[in-house]
Amino acid sequence: MNVAGPLAEDMVCDGDPSWLLCETGYELLRESTFETRFAVSNGFLGLRGGLAAHLGACRTIPPRFYVAGLFDTPTPDSVIPELVPAPDWTQVSILLPDGPLMRSPDRSSRALTLDMRRGALFMDARQTCNAPLEVRLRSLRLVSLDARAIGMQVIDLRIDSGVSDLSFEAASGPTDFELAPERAELDLKAWRTWRSGQSLAIASAASLEVDGVERQPVERGDLTWAWRWTAQPGQVVTFRRIVAVTRHHATDVHAGARARRELAAARTIGWRGILARHEAAWAERWRCSDIQVGGDPAAQAALRFAIFHLNGAANPDDPHVSVAARALTGDDYRGHVFWDTEIFLVPFYALTWPEAARTLLMYRFRSLDAARAKAVRMGWRGALYAWESADTGAEVTPPQTVGPDRKILDILCGSQEQHISADVAYATWQYWQATEDEAFLREAGAEIILETARFWASRATLEADGLRHIRGVIGPDEYHERVDDNAFTNVMARWNIARGLDIAVLLRERWPDTWERLARSLDLGEPELVQWREAAETIATSFDPATGLYEQFAGFSALEAVDLNAYAGRSVPMDVVLGRERTQRAQVIKQADVVALLALLPEAFPSASGGTNFNHYEQRCGHGSSLSRVMHGLAAARLGRPEAALGYFHQSAAIDLADTHVAIGGGIHIAALGGLWLMAIFGFAGLSLGANGLAFDPRLPASWHGLDFRVQWRKRDLAVALDGKNRELRVTLDRGDPMTVFAGGTAFVIAMDGPLVVRLPIDG
- How many whole angstroms separate alpha carbon 108 and alpha carbon 2? 18
The secondary structure of residue 687, as a DSSP letter, is E
Q: Using the predicted structure, report yes or no on whether residue 703 has a pLDDT greater than 70.
A: yes
- How many whole angstroms separate alpha carbon 637 and alpha carbon 686? 8
Q: Using the predicted structure, report yes or no on whether residue 286 has a pLDDT greater than 90.
A: yes
CB 104 within 8 A of CB 116: no
Q: Using the predicted structure, report yes or no on whether residue 134 has a pLDDT greater than 70.
A: yes
Per-residue pLDDT band at 44 (split at 50, 70, 90): very high
- To the nearest whole percent, how much of the chain has pLDDT over 70? 94
The secondary structure of residue 70, as a DSSP letter, is E
Angle between helix axes 670-678 and 642-657 (nearest 10 degrees) is 150
Phi, psi of 629 (to 5 degrees): -70, -30
CB 619 within 8 A of CB 564: yes
The better pLDDT of the pair 308, 691 is held by 308
Pairing between strand 739-743 and 693-696?
parallel
Return the number of other C-beta atoms located less than 10 Å from residue 119's C-beta: 26
CB 277 within 8 A of CB 640: no
Per-residue pLDDT band at 297 (split at 50, 70, 90): very high
CB 219 within 8 A of CB 226: yes
Give the start-end residues of each E strand in 249-389.
291-294
The better pLDDT of the pair 55, 467 is held by 467
3-state secondary structure of 723: strand
Q: Using the predicted structure, report yes or no on whether residue 514 has a pLDDT greater than 80.
A: yes
The strand pairing partners of 723, in sequence order, are 706, 728
Q: Return the biggest CA–CA distance within the chain.
A: 90
Edge-to-edge strand ranges of the sheet holding 45-47: 40-41, 45-47, 65-72, 82-86
Q: Using the predicted structure, report yes or no on whether residue 487 has a pLDDT greater than 80.
A: yes
Pairing between strand 180-185 and 45-47?
unpaired
Per-residue pLDDT band at 15 (split at 50, 70, 90): low
Phi, psi of 698 (to 5 degrees): -65, 145
DSSP symbols for 131-170: SS-EEEEEEEEEE-SSSTTEEEEEEEEEEEE--EEEEEEE
Q: Using the predicted structure, report yes or no on whether residue 715 has a pLDDT greater than 90.
A: yes
What's the confidence (pLDDT) of residue 2? 40
CB 148 within 8 A of CB 243: no
The secondary structure of residue 442, as a DSSP letter, is I
Q: Using the predicted structure, report yes or no on whether residue 739 has a pLDDT greater than 90.
A: yes
Which of 50, 18, 24, 720 lies closest to 305, judged by CA?
18
The pairs formed by 575-581 with CB atoms below 8 angstroms and a separation of 24 or more are 575/404, 575/479, 575/622, 575/624, 576/404, 580/403, 580/409
Which of 155, 127, 130, 125 lies closest to 140, judged by CA?
155
Where does 658-694 have alpha helices with state H? Answer: 670-678
The better pLDDT of the pair 180, 555 is held by 555
What's the confidence (pLDDT) of residue 8? 54
Task: Compute the residue count for the chain.
Answer: 764
Write the CA distances from 479 to 585, 586, 637, integer angstroms.
Answer: 9, 9, 26
What's the confidence (pLDDT) of residue 104? 59
User: For every residue of 194-232, which 3-state class applies, written as one string?
Assistant: CCCCCEEEEEEEEEEEECCEEECCCEEECCEEEEEEEEC
Q: Using the predicted structure, report yes or no on whether residue 556 has a pLDDT greater than 70.
A: yes
**For residues 323-344, average pLDDT:** 96
Write the CA distances from 135 to 95, 129, 416, integer angstroms.
Answer: 12, 9, 58
**For residues 690-713, average pLDDT:** 95
What's the confidence (pLDDT) of residue 26? 77
**For residues 85-90, average pLDDT:** 92
Where does 468-556 have alpha helices with state H? Answer: 487-510, 512-522, 526-538
Encoded amino acid at 28, one letter: L
Exposed / middle / buried, residue 234 (Cβ in 10 Å: 0-12, 13-18, 19+): exposed
Over the stretch 173-198, which tens digit does the pLDDT of each residue have? 877 778 888 889 999 999 999 888 89
CB 119 within 8 A of CB 39: no
Per-residue pLDDT band at 108 (split at 50, 70, 90): confident
Pairing between strand 687-690 and 693-696?
antiparallel
Over the stretch 613-652, which tens digit does the pLDDT of each residue have? 999 999 999 999 999 999 999 999 999 999 999 999 999 9
What's the confidence (pLDDT) of residue 510? 97
| Alpha-carbon radius of gyration of the chain | 27
Over the stretch 17-41, which tens digit does the pLDDT of each residue have? 889 999 888 777 778 888 999 999 9
The strand pairing partners of 191, in sequence order, are 181, 200
Which of 355, 347, 274 lies closest to 318, judged by CA?
355
**For residues 161-168, average pLDDT:** 94
Give the start-end residues of each E strand in 308-460.
400-402, 408-410
**For residues 433-444, average pLDDT:** 98
The secondary structure of residue 79, as a DSSP letter, is -
Return the number of other C-beta atoms located less than 10 Å from residue 444's C-beta: 20
What's the confidence (pLDDT) of residue 637? 97
Mean per-residue pLDDT of the chain: 92
**For residues 62-82, average pLDDT:** 89
Exposed / middle / buried, residue 320 (Cβ in 10 Å: 0-12, 13-18, 19+): middle
CB 706 within 8 A of CB 294: yes
3-state secondary structure of 400: strand
Torsion of CA 273, 276, 277, 278, to 10 degrees: 120
CB 705 within 8 A of CB 762: no
Phi, psi of 586 (to 5 degrees): -120, 160
What's the confidence (pLDDT) of residue 764? 41
The strand pairing partners of 247, in sequence order, are 200
**For residues 537-544, average pLDDT:** 96
3-state secondary structure of 281: helix
Half-sphere exposure of 312 (CA within 13 A, CB side): 34
CB 172 within 8 A of CB 202: yes
Q: Using the predicted structure, report yes or no on whether residue 13 has a pLDDT greater than 60.
A: no
Give the start-end residues of each E strand in 374-527.
400-402, 408-410, 461-462, 468-469
Encoded amino acid at 597, one letter: L
**For residues 529-534, average pLDDT:** 98
Half-sphere exposure of 285 (CA within 13 A, CB side): 29
Which of 47, 19, 22 lies closest to 117, judged by CA?
19
**For residues 289-307, average pLDDT:** 97
Phi, psi of 305 (to 5 degrees): -60, -45
Per-residue pLDDT band at 56 (split at 50, 70, 90): very low
Model pTM score: 0.95
Per-residue pLDDT band at 662 (split at 50, 70, 90): low
CB 699 within 8 A of CB 762: yes
Q: Using the predicted structure, report yes or no on whether residue 363 has a pLDDT greater than 70.
A: yes
